[in-house]
Structure 1
Amino acid sequence: MRNTARWAATLGLTATAVCGPLTGAAVATPAAPASLYAPSALVLTVGHGESAATATPERAVTLNCAPTSSGTHPAAPTACAELRGAGGDLDALTARGDVLCTREYNPVVVTADGVWQGKRVSYERTFANECVKNASATSVFAF
């Protein structure tokens, strides 16, 4: 009986000594990514002025488009759909052709900062007035 207990203890200690470092290595490996989508989250601002450097933001919203549409943007699903359709290119958002605006010059600047499908985005555009902005920027900057 004594030999059986001694062999069991020896085998248990040997297994712990051999397999212990292997389990530590498994814990040290990097974890799998938490999600399978690239982040798409933007902070959008609107203000009056010639450029973002001189304009004070009057309104700002957040827009998250992955995995689902969310944020403080009032029309997040529509804005995300338009951005997806443009491939995230804010310059590619098309203007509505059925809007007539005055020639008043009261510049409005819009900005977008964040990430789109994992790539850094920094966008700024100045419109002649609020009407031109609303006609050109679709629902992304309509807040």
Structure 2
Amino acid sequence: MSGHRSLPPATEALIAEALGEALSPITDDITGLTCLADGADTLFARAVLAQGGQIEVIVPAEHYLAGLPGEHHAEYRKLLAQATQVHRMPFTESTSEAHMAASQHMLTLADELWAVWDGQPARGYGGTADVVQAARDFNKPVRTIWPSGAARG
């Protein structure tokens, strides 16, 4: 999973619904890979768990949590505790390079990339557009989720 962060509440609701609809026909065991950032990553993790699946978490850096919004910390910890496996990257600081390395590691484990993406260029290195391009470079299928009416903050 890769997707936008800091989404408006109305967009989060649209994306949560779209993810639930996309996951509902899947009857096989589902394992979602996510970094649990605020926004799309968390919505995806919740949807996978609600579907009866499991999540694996990729932690980009030792200080990753410190770089996330304070209001997201409790949710991050709650979802991290539900992970069946946690992959920790060898970075200390939560930088764009660490985030992109985590995404590339995720792609080595994933069968396909689900991207909550508006189709626009990344706002910084390691953004959703960069992860989508990396997935294509790895010949991974990309499933884009961006419901009608969604907007970035």
Instruction: Choose between structure 1 and 2 for higher RCO, CA contacts under 8 A separated by at least 6 residues.
Output: 2
- TM-score (structure 2 length as normaliser): 0.22
Q: Higher Cα Rg: structure 1 or 2?
A: 1
Q: What is the TM-score of this pair, normalised by structure 1?
A: 0.23
Write 1 or 2 for the structure with the bigger share of helix. Answer: 2
> Which structure has the highest strand share of the two?
1
